[in-house]
Amino acid sequence: MEYINEQNMDEILQKSYPPWVHRHVEIPDISIYQALVNSSLKYSERTAIDFMNTKISYKTLKGEVDAIASDLEGIGVKKGDKVAIMLPNIPQYITYFFAVLKLGGIIVQVNPLYTTRELKYEMEDSGSNVIVTLDEFVQKAMPLYPSIISKIIVVRVKDYLPPLISNIYALSTIRKNTKVVADKNIIVSKRPGSVGDTGKVAQISPKDDAALIQYTGGTTGEAKGAVLSHRNLISNAYQVIESLPETYKEKTTYLSAIPFFHVYGMMTAMLTPIIQGSTIILVPDPRNTKMILSLIEKKRPTAFPGIPAMYHSLVNYNNINKYNLKNVKICISGASSLPVELQKQFEKLTGSILVEGYGLSECSPVANITPLVEEEREKYRRFGSVGLPAPDTYERIVSLEDGISDVPVGEQGELLIKGPQVMMGYWNRPEENKKVLDNGWLHTGDIARIDNDGYVYIVDRKKDLIIAGGYNIYPREVEDVLYENPKVSECAVIGVPDEHRGENVKAVIVKKDSTLTEQEVIDFCRERLAVYKIPRIVEFRDSLPLTLVGKIDKKQLRNEKI
């Protein structure tokens, strides 16, 4: 087949999907709060949240959300107001998330590791003046109060811990906690006790009303807020659920370690499980590998959405063989490319299905998922592919020159996406919206190709493209080769300035075997890559810099002096 496009994609994908996955999904026209209400009615006594052995049923969760919404309404939060949430994965993230949306507010997700400067940018750009944060982080917000932030709601981890653990936690954090002096606009929130009436519910038009502003580097340039509607998020959750095997479409237990402030974590580890009526096992610190392993063994979750850095940490943990990880069955990796060797190692270790997906904040975020099949894996798997477009999602590969013309199957071009999960637009960026949104199609800025069966392969980001001596070099291709070397633990490939060639290829490597040498790396690549793709510079490090969500930070690597 020469081209795959909107006209023939339905037919192709229905043949490529596993039998239980439908090309089109019936998506209810409901708000996100109503989705919680539906789950609380259907799964009333089932555990919704398991946090450090504190278990919260769906009935209790809905009641606490209603109580918090009443408190928020009491301090003036109303439909259209932006409320920032700057929290790790603790119960209050979930309760405040749904409470704000119940009132018709708009969530602004903020990384709790941000500095005051980074927080200031997002608060000012979004127009948020209310923030929900942890007592440990409140000092980051204080310099912005009251000039930018008019109300600070402070929550405490210990409010959801059993008494003994709460006391230990309080002692372990007492030195770094700064006492919060409450006033009428700095509110120390406590866990709701007795729950009263349901209270006010805002009238929501799911397609037209924004639910979330997710800050992202976007397809180009500075950080900007992708505005996602209730309909965008509900659609994406149903697309993910449809992609799961029948056994896991409901009553699944999720290990939710990937941060909720990252839109991928919010979708796959919080909202989707809530809609399914599943149990969420909360992990506040995704870097705590020992805790993750202990929870997998003790709580026996069946689903573990994550990012490659998490799976890499587990595979390389010193005492990994002490833990029984065999109950994990479904793992979807996102946020960055999944090395094939890591995928194979993790599956061998756990017996699970680990597949790669693809998404971006502008798509709520899930756009592609490799079929999750326990049997006939090889039939549905293409190593190096991010999988098939999700149900109701259309994708095209267009010319890098004109951004319009479809290119033939197998050829590289820019990936365009169309579907119910595609954002409303960037917050207050009309000119940027004209560039990236065209008649429902999102220009992703990612270079990709598609095969005859509809599987998509991300080659690289436009902005990561290395041009050396007139040749286009895609870092991921070089990285994939480096990961084939058993002496390489982690790597990143970047372009560095060169007067003669424009750029040189540089490989930054963390060794798995201390005997690895620079010449060995170059010789290994020479056997597998065209001469112009071989790294001219090889640097060994003990670790690679990571972004706050665990991706390798290539921007930092590029900005460092050579």
- Per-residue pLDDT, 443: 96
- Per-residue pLDDT, 374: 82
Q: Going by DSSP bridges, is the β-strand pair 54-57/47-51 parallel, antiparallel, or unpaired?
A: antiparallel
CA angle 127, 263, 330 (to 5 degrees): 165
Residue 197 has pLDDT above 90, yes or no: no
What is the average pLDDT value for the chain, to the nearest integer? 91
Tens-digit pLDDT profile for residues 48-75: 999 999 999 999 999 999 999 999 999 9
Question: What backbone torsions phi and psi does residue 59 show, to the nearest 5 degrees?
Answer: -65, -45
Q: So where are the chain's domains?
A: 1-16+233-399+413-464, 32-203, 466-559
Alpha helices in 381-455 (DSSP H): 430-436
**Mean pLDDT over residues 126-142, rounded?**
95
Rounded Cα distance between 69 and 17, Å, is: 41
| Fold equal for 1-16+233-399+413-464 and 32-203 | yes
- Per-residue pLDDT, 473: 79
- Per-residue pLDDT, 193: 80
Pick from 49-58, 179-188, 306-315 the range whose average pLDDT is largest. 49-58
- Per-residue pLDDT, 442: 97
For residues 539, 554, 289, 517, the Cα torsion angle rounded to the nearest 10 degrees is -10
Q: Which architecture characterizes domain 1-16+233-399+413-464 according to CATH?
A: 3-Layer(aba) Sandwich (3.40)
> Considering the domain 32-203 in this protein, what is its CATH number?
3.40.50.980
Residue 174 has pLDDT above 50, yes or no: no
Residue 499 has pLDDT above 70, yes or no: no
pTM score of the predicted model? 0.84
- Per-residue pLDDT, 550: 74
Rounded Cα distance between 420 and 161, Å, is: 39
Kindly indicate the confidence band of residue 181, based on its pLDDT and cuts at 50, 70 and 90: confident
> Considering the domain 466-559 in this protein, what is its CATH number?
3.30.300.30
Kindly indicate the confidence band of residue 219, based on its pLDDT and cuts at 50, 70 and 90: very low
Question: What backbone torsions phi and psi does residue 98 show, to the nearest 5 degrees?
Answer: -75, -30
Strand order in the sheet with 210-216: 186-188, 151-155, 130-134, 82-86, 106-109, 210-216, 224-229, 425-426
Residues 6+ apart with CB under 8 A from 8: 1
Other beta carbons within 10 angstroms of residue 464's beta carbon come to: 20
Of 309 and 382, more confident: 382
Kindly indicate the confidence band of residue 297, based on its pLDDT and cuts at 50, 70 and 90: very high
Three-state SS annotation for 296-332: HHHHCCCECCECHHHHHHHHCCCCHHHCCCCCCCEEE
Copy the structure tokens of residue 164: 């003994």
Distances (CA, A) of 306 to 242, 274, 338: 19, 17, 11
Residue 452 has pLDDT above 90, yes or no: yes
Q: Write out the E strands in 37-142.
A: 47-51, 54-57, 82-86, 106-109, 130-134
Question: What backbone torsions phi and psi does residue 407 show, to the nearest 5 degrees?
Answer: -105, 155
Rounded Cα distance between 289 and 268, Å, is: 20
Question: Peptide bond before 391: cis, by omega within 30 degrees of 0?
Answer: no
Which of left, alpha, beta for 262 (phi over 0: left; psi -120 to 50: alpha)? beta
Residue 177 has pLDDT above 70, yes or no: no
Residue 175 has pLDDT above 50, yes or no: no
Q: Between helices 32-42 and 230-243, what is the axis angle to 10°? A: 50
Helix (H, G, I), strand (E, B) or coil at 173: helix
Rounded Cα distance between 452 and 13, Å, is: 10
- Per-residue pLDDT, 529: 83
Contact of 535 with 493, CB cutoff 8 Å: yes
Residue 562 has pLDDT above 80, yes or no: no
Q: Between helices 58-74 and 32-42, what is the axis angle to 10°? A: 140
Alpha-carbon radius of gyration of the chain = 23
Rounded Cα distance between 37 and 30, Å, is: 10
Residue 503 has pLDDT above 60, yes or no: yes
Helix (H, G, I), strand (E, B) or coil at 476: helix
Tens-digit pLDDT profile for residues 539-560: 999 999 987 667 888 888 988 8
